[in-house]
Amino acid sequence: MSRAWLIGAGPGDVELLTLKAARTLALADVVLVDDLVNPEVLQFARDDAQIVHVGKRGGQQSTPQPEIVAMMLDHLRAGRSVARLKGGDPFVFGRGGEEQQALQAAGIHVEIISGITAGIAAPAAIGIPVTHRDHAQGVIFVTGHGAGEHEADWRALAATHMTLVIYMGMRRLNDIVDALLRADMPPDTPCAAIESATRPEQRHVRATLSEFVQRVAQAQLGSPSIVVIGGVASLAAPVDAMLKP
């Protein structure tokens, strides 16, 4: 009998893949893989598994979501077990909820294999805890991708005084920072941006809110990156301490 899984591949470092994810990948006949998944993760798939790359990366051309769902359903109805492999966690800005709904509507049960989301792993990779008793009593994960009617309420978010962890925010970083400053977030609020977190090519920038956009531009940081705004960003380890022996 065919089976369906939504699997989180973690933030990038293959060693941060869960044991359950690795074991489940070895069961799949077909693996549909997102762009942000480290290719090394595929070593856990069967040698005879069909690997299908389906894109899904913010700001770039991607396989349309209905097409991905249609592919999953075609394989499942043909009796093949399907693993949908996503970067991070499938239920954190990964459209996993949409895919689960589509499969359930077709009468197909799907098992969720959680992964470590970049919103926690990327800050931790440079020594930032997303919560800390002295700095933030909570953390808010938010997408920076929306605009217009889909724009986050940055004034309300600023008023929480919680850590803001922003996914897919690099293209609109200037707009986001302007909105937070207009919402009276202090200009000296610590910020950080981490690119390609947990991977060998990881880079990051730290700055105050008022200088953040300029510093990110100078460093030429791009996507995929996680942005952290709040007092906890001041706890990032010095760059020298992040160098691996």
Give yes or no: 34 in active site. yes
**Residue 3, both tokens:** 């089976």
For 18, counting Cβ atoms within 10 Å of its Cβ (0-12 exposed, 13-18 middle, 19+ buried), the class is middle
Each as own residue / partner, the long-range contacts of residues 89-95 (CB below 8 Å, 24 or more positions apart, any chain) are: 89/8, 89/114, 89/115, 89/116, 89/117, 90/6, 90/7, 90/8, 90/114, 90/115, 91/6, 92/117, 92/119, 92/141, 92/167, 93/141, 93/143, 93/167, 93/168, 94/8, 94/34, 95/56, 95/65
Of 72, 162, 168, 185, catalytic? 168
Of 29, 34, 89, 162, catalytic? 34
Place of tokens 């990051």: 204
Give yes or no: 56 in active site. yes
Of 13, 29, 56, 86, catalytic? 56
Active-site positions read 34, 56, 168
